[in-house]
Chains A and B, each alone.
Chain A
Amino acid sequence: MVNCLNKNYYVCTGCALLCDDIEVEVSGDHITKIKTVCRKGFSRIGGCIEPMPCTSDGKSVDITTAIKDAASILMNADNPLIFGLGNSTSGAQKQAIELAKRIGAVIDDSSSFCQGPIIEAILHEKIHTCTLDDVRNRADVIVYWGADPSNSHPRHLSMHSYFPRGEERQHGWEDDRTAIAIDVRRSHTAKICGNRFYQIPLHTDAFLIEALIDALSGKVPKVPFEYDIKKILELANVLKKAQFGVIFAGLGVVYSIGDMGTMTRLMDKLNEVSNFHLIPMMGHYNMRGFNQNLFEATGYFNRVKFEKRENGFDVKHGVDYSIMEVLNTKKTDAALIIGSDPMSCLPRSTAEYLSEIPLVSIGPCENFTSRVAKVTIPSALSGVECGGSAVRMDGVKVTFEPMIKTARLSDEEILKRIMEAI
C-alpha cells in the first residue's frame, strides 16, 4: 500500500502488471467502491459469487479437520504433485517448495505450458530484458508479438508501454513511440498499432524471425509463404533505428517457435545493430515469482521433483516432471492444487485423471478442480484479503497490503499448517 497525497493506493492482483495505483472505499469488511482498475481487476477485487467451501469427502468440516485430512493425503502418497501457485504470494510459494521437499513431491506451475521458455532464457541471462518503468520512460519502438494486452493485460498500453509520456518520451504515442503488432489476426492491440500491423500465417513466426535476422544483416529476406518482402525490410528498418526497443512476447509467438533459440538469435542481432529488450507477457500475477523462487531454491524454474533419500533429497528436473507428463503417465497418486484450476486450463483428457486420485484444492473460489477434490480449503484472496509480495512480469518485486480483513487463512498460513500436521 502506497500513501500519496493522503490517499492509500493498493495493488491489483488481477494480472502480472500488478497495478499499484488502485483506490478502494471500504465499509466494515466490505469493499464498496473500486477505482482505477481495469474490467478484469474490478472483477478480481470484487470477488467471486461461489467462494471455496471447507470440505472433506464432500462434507462441510472445520479448517483444522480439512488441514489434517489434506496432510494425511499428502503423507500417504508415494508420488504427490503440487501445482499452481501463480496466484499466490511469494511467501506461500516458498512454503510450498519446503512442503514439496518434505513430502518428495513434483512441483510445477502453469509456466510449464506457457511462458516457461522465455523465463528460462531470462533467468539464464540469454536474453536482454528491462523493466516496465524503463519502457514507460524510454521505449520508442514497442513490439507486441503474438500478444494482445488490450485483452490479457488491459492497462499495459496506458500505464506502461504506449500512451504514457515517459521521462524521455514527453511527446507520447503521437510522436515519440512506434507500436508494432505481429500476429495471426487483427487483435484489439493490433488495431491500435494501425498500419504497423504485420499479419502472418499460423505458426510462421520462426520464418519471420529468420527473415528479420537476414534483413538486419543486410541480406535479402525470404519467407516460405506469400508476403510482401518490402514490409519485412520496412519492419527491420524500424527495429534497427530504435533508440530503446522492446518486444512483448505473448503466447502466440511462444507456442509458435517452441524453443527460444531463434528468438535469442534475433535478440542478439537486434542488439548488434540497435538496443532491444524482451519482456514475457506473464499471465498470473505471481507466475514469475514462482519461477524465481524455485530457481533460487533449486536452479530450476519449474518441472522439479524432490526425490527423497535417506539423508535429504535429490532435485530432478525435466519434461517428465511437467504437470502434463505426470498426469498423462498417471505417475502421480495425490495432488495439492493451490490457486489454480487445471481441470479448466489443461486438455480435458489429461486433467480428468485428477478426478481419479485424492486431491486437495486450496483457493478463494470454487472451480472445476475443487469440485472433484477430496478436500477443499478456502483461502484469503491475495491483494484483497491478505498481503505479501509478488514479482511483476518484468521481474520487479512488488509488496502489497490487504484491502479488507477476513477470517480466512492465507495460502501461506494454510501450507504452514499442513507442514506442521505432517
Chain B
Amino acid sequence: MELGKFLTAPEYGFVIVTYRDIFQSAALEKSRFGEEYRKLSAVIKMDSGDIKKLGVVEGDTVVVKNACGKVVVRVEESGYDVPHQGVAYMPNSPWSNSLVSADTGGTGVPKYKMIKVMVSNARGEAITGMM
C-alpha cells in the first residue's frame, strides 16, 4: 500500500500573473467549449524549481486554490531565463478568473495580475471542467 496517497499534499504560496496567448485566443474564437481552448487555458506556467518542489513533472496536474475558488490545471515549465520562484503565470481565462477576488478595493478593477493562491500536487486529479 502506498502510504503517501493518504497524506495531504504540501501546499505552497504563489502569486499568479495572467497573460495573453495567441494560440489560446485563436482557440477561443473557434469554440469556448472545445478541447483546444480548455487545453490551452487550464495551464499554469511555473519555475522549474517550483515544479520540483511540488513533486510534479510537466504535464501533471496541480490544485490551485484560494478563498475565491479552486481549479485543477496542468503544469508547464515557463522556460523564462530569470528564475521566478513563487510567481506563476496563467493565460487569462475562466480558469484563472475562478481565482480572482471580487473585492476591487473600491476601484472596480479586479486584481487579474496579482492573484494570491496556494498550489499543491493534484495527484492525478482531472483538469477542472467549465460549464
Binding site for B on A (CB under 8 A): 14, 38-40, 42-44, 46, 48-50, 112-114, 116, 148, 150-152, 154, 184-187, 199, 202-203, 251-252, 255-256, 258, 303, 319, 322-325, 328, 341, 343-351, 365-368, 371
Contacts and interface: CB of A to CB of B under 8 A. Distances in A.
B104 A148 contact: no
Given A49-B34, A151-B19, A349-B102, A43 B26 contact: yes
A328 B109 CA distance: 12
Contact of B29 (A44, A256, A346): A44
29 contacts: A40-B25, A43-B28, A44-B29, A46-B30, A48-B31, A50-B32, A113-B108, A148-B20, A150-B22, A151-B21, A151-B25, A154-B22, A184-B87, A185-B19, A186-B82, A202-B17, A258-B107, A324-B104, A324-B110, A328-B104, A341-B32, A344-B32, A344-B97, A349-B69, A349-B101, A350-B102, A366-B32, A366-B33, A367-B32
Interface string B90-129: 0011100110111010111111111000000000000000
Contact of A345 (B21, B25, B68, B97): B97
Contacts of A185: 17, 19, 78, 80, 84, 89
B23 A39 contact: yes
Interface in B38-74: 68-69
B113 A255 contact: yes
Contacts, number: 131
B97 A324 contact: no
Contact of A255 (B78, B98, B114): B114
A347 B101 contact: yes
Contacts of B81: 186
Nearest to A283: B20
Q: Of B22, B30, B108, B111, which is in contact with the most chain A CB atoms at under 10 Å from its CB?
A: B108
Given A40-B26, A185-B89, A344-B97, A325 B114 contact: no
B97 A346 contact: yes
A42 B25 CA distance: 11
A110 to B, nearest CB: 11
Contacts of A325: 104, 108
Interface size class of B (residues with CB under 8 A): 35 or more
Determine the main DSSP class of B at the interface with A: loop
B15 interface: yes
B1 to A, nearest CB: 38
A324 B108 contact: yes
A184 B87 CA distance: 10
Given A113-B112, A324-B110, A345-B97, 8 more contacts: A43-B29, A116-B109, A151-B20, A185-B89, A202-B114, A322-B108, A325-B108, A328-B102
B74 to A, nearest CB: 19
A260 B21 CA distance: 26
A117 B110 CA distance: 14
A152 B89 CA distance: 16
B68 A348 contact: yes
Contacts of A368: 32, 94, 130-131
B75 interface: no
A324 B94 contact: no
Nearest to A281: B20
A241 B120 CA distance: 49
Given A40-B25, A48-B29, A343 B108 contact: no
Q: Which are the 7 A-B pairs with shortest beta-carbon distances?
A: A322-B108, A43-B29, A347-B100, A43-B26, A350-B102, A319-B108, A152-B20
Contacts of A114: 109
A187 B33 CA distance: 27
A14 B29 contact: yes
A103 to B, nearest CB: 22
B97 A43 contact: no
A322 B17 CA distance: 23
A160 B94 CA distance: 32
B114 A42 contact: no
Given A50-B33, A148-B20, A324-B102, A39 B26 contact: yes
Contacts of A328: 102, 104
A256 B111 CA distance: 9
Contacts of B100: 347-348
Contacts of B92: 345
Contacts of A350: 102, 110
A41 to B, nearest CB: 9
Contacts of A341: 32
Nearest to B100: A347
